[in-house]
Structures are given as C-alpha cells and as structure tokens.
Amino acid sequence: MLNLIPAAERWLAEGEQVALATVIGTWGSAPRGVGAKMAVSGTGKMSGSVSGGCVEGAVAGAAAEVMRSGRPQLLHFGVADETAWEVGLACGGEIEVFVQPLQGEMLEVIRAAADTPSVALTVVRGLDESLGRQLLLLKDGKLLGALGAVLDEAALEHAREALAEGRSQRVQVAGGTELFIEISLSPPTLVVVGGVHIAIALVAMAKALGYRTVVVDPRRSFGTAERFPDVDQLMHSWPDRALTELELDISMAVAVLTHDPKLDDPALGVALRSPAFYVGALGSRSTNEKRRERLLASGLAAEQLQRLRAPIGLDLGGRSPAEIALSVLAEIVAAQHRGSGARA
C-alpha cells in the first residue's frame, strides 16, 4: 500500500477524488493475493493492481461510481482460464474486490501502520451507513478510527487473534456485518546469531530477498562490518540480551548458527518464547537432542521447544556454507508463507 501513497496524495492535492480497491478474497489461481490494492483517481489514473490486468478496467469503472456516490462496493470477478492466459497466468480463479472512497484521514491511518505490525478492520458487508468504516489496531494497542460502539468490542477480539496468527481474514460479526481483517506486518527481518561463514552468505541472500538483516555476536572479530558489509545492524551484545532488545515479533526470523551452547542456548531461550515466525538452530541430530535436553532443563516448555527447526534448513543436499545458507533461507521463506518442504 505504501507505494500508492505518493500518487494518492498528489491526486488529492490536485483536487481530485480518489478510490481505493482492495482484494479481500481469492479462490483458485487468482491473479493477485488478498490485500493487493489499486488506487484510482477521479480522472481515471491508476496506481497499483488488483488482478495483473484482467479486471482493472471493470474495477476502475466501479471506482468512478463509488467516487460519484460516496458508497463503497463489493465486487466479485471470475477470471476465466483463457483470460488468465492472456495476462501470463497458467489458469484462472475468482477474486472479490472492495472499493471505497480514499480520503486524507485514511492515508493518515495507513502511514500510522507503516512502521509497526497492525490490523486494519473494514466493514465490507452490512448496513449502508457502516460500509467502509475502518478501525486500526496498532501493535502497542493504540486504536485509530471506529466501526461503531456495537461492533468495536467484537471486532477487536477478532483483530487480536488475527494479529497473533499473522493472517488476513474475513469474519462475520453481529447483525450479519462482515469485516475484512487485514494484517500489515513490518518488513521481514532475519536475525542471525553468530557471525560465522554460513552467516555471511545467509545475510547476503536475505538482503537480496528484501529482508532487513541483523547479526548478533559478542565476539567482535566475528561480527565486523568487513565481514558483513551489507547488514542493517550489528550487535555485539550477548544473544539473550540482544534478542530481548530487538523485541522479536511475528515479522522476524531467528537463525542460530554459533554451534556453541554458551551462545546458542540463551538465544533460543528468548527466541522460542517470542512470536518470531521462525526459529532455527545449526547442528546435527545428536547435537540437537542434547540441546533439547538442556533447554527443557532450563525451564523451556515442551510446546515452545516444538517450534525449533533443527537441524536447520531444508534438505537440499548441499554442504558448502553457501549451500547451507540457501537451505536455511529456503526454510525461512517457506515458514513466512506457511509453505512446506523436506527438512534436513
């Protein structure tokens, strides 16, 4: 959404009306995922995409009507196989798109959500007077906007659950009202504990995929700017202190690579108790069994320990540092998108 803000701000400053179209549901091989957005100006200019091209014209037409009437619309499209092929897709699908007026107040809400995990709740089906109302729940508990006194309490319960899961969804609440609950996470962050050789390749690969990267190693000869020229943050604290300071959340992955219990165990003790979407540790199966025994003895709960990916990485068959780094990053990406893969 952030890439749409400059265009939307410019159109509003020029006195144009603006509508925002959001994909709120998909079935089959839909062209774009849930949350994809497109802004449309009163003169028909567009920024962003909701379908890769196959229904943009129809959405823009609906946006024009929304801007004239001020009333949001919920649109349903079936993308046929032959149409999908024309825009470079293997097969078709179905999408639902919610179109609503975009005003300056909504842009302020979007900016507020840009730097922290948040949940935006939008009324997409219900009474006319409530359609398009929005409520934003920020990670720190701050609320912006309102759905209405009757809806807010029930909606917030769903919002907190969705934020904990890190998954956008639609829910039915009181009176047949339907909400689209959209999760906005911080850019994904990879925290690497241990500035070892594998970490050098892993950080470089993660940067190429758009991850923010952090390397934690109290051994200053390992965590240097020379070894990690492109890392976003170097921390020379002990791992448990560093990970606590980072305030791990559901947008973060932690890869523990030192192979030294004095560093690995404290790091895992913090990471496995956090909401981080991925926690993995380097080591053989026998090393991992001993690690599990130590962590359980230290007070870590068995269900928390079940989150640990160890031995770390997908089984790609490679053994060089770069190949191991690739296997680790592949497992992290799969976890981020809730995919699956063969573990090492």
DSSP per position, 74-95: EEEEEE-HHHHHHTT-SS-EEE
Identify which has the larger pLDDT, 340 or 263: 263
What is the rounded distance in angstroms from the CA atom of residue 254 to the CA atom of residue 244?
A: 12
Last residue of a domain, one of 102, 123, 149: 102
Question: What's the pLDDT at 125?
Answer: 84
Residue-range definition of the domain harbouring residue 171: 104-185
- Are the C-beta atoms of 339 and 333 separated by less than 8 Å? yes
219 and 310 housed in the same domain: yes
Residues 28 and 75 in one domain: yes
Mean pLDDT within 335-340: 72
- Is the pLDDT at 304 greater than 50? The verdict is yes
Statement to judge: residues 201 and 331 lie in one domain: yes
Domain assignment present for residue 341? The answer is no
14 and 62 housed in the same domain: yes
Between 330 and 125, whose confidence is greater?
Answer: 330
Q: pLDDT band for position 238 (50/70/90)? A: very high
| Cβ-proximal residues to 155 (8 Å cutoff; 6+ apart), any chain | 121, 135, 147, 173, 179
29-64 tens-digit pLDDT: 656 678 888 899 999 999 888 876 677 788 899 999
Residue 344 forms part of a structural domain: no
- Looking at the structure, tell me whether residues 220 and 317 fall in a common domain: yes
Say if residue 90's pLDDT is above 60: no
Residue 172 covered by a domain = yes
For residue 95, the cross-strand partners are: 26, 77
Is this model's pTM higher than 0.85 or not? no
| Model confidence pLDDT, tens digit, residues 185-220 | 777 899 999 999 999 999 999 999 989 999 999 998
State whether 241 and 325 are in the same domain.
yes
Q: pLDDT (tens digit, 9 = 90+) per residue, 112-171?
A: 666 667 788 888 887 777 788 887 877 777 777 777 766 777 777 787 777 767 678 787
Domain-located, residue 3: yes
Other CB atoms within 10 Å distance of the CB of residue 311: 16
Q: Are residues 159 and 204 in the same domain?
A: no
Task: Tell me what the pLDDT averaged over the chain comes to.
Answer: 84
Does residue 343 belong to any structural domain of this protein?
Answer: no
278 and 215, same structural domain? yes
Inter-axis angle of helices 104-112 and 5-13, to 10 degrees? 150
Q: Are residues 81 and 175 in the same domain?
A: no
Q: Do 88 and 135 fall within a single domain?
A: no
Is the pLDDT higher at 88 or at 186? 186
Q: Which two tokens stand for residue 223?
A: 């965590």
Average pLDDT over residues 289-294: 93
**pLDDT tens digit string along 131-145?**
888 878 777 777 777
From 55, 81, 102, the end of a domain falls on 102
pLDDT at 182: 85
CA atoms within 13 A on the CB side of 190: 30
- Per-residue pLDDT, averaged over 313-326, amounts to 91
- In a shared domain, residues 197 and 177: no
The reported pLDDT for the residue numbered 2 is 58
**pLDDT for residue 88 is more than 60:** no
Q: Among residues 43, 70, 102, which one ends one of the domains?
A: 102
* Residue 166 counted as domain residue: yes
Q: Tell me, what's the pLDDT at 136? A: 81
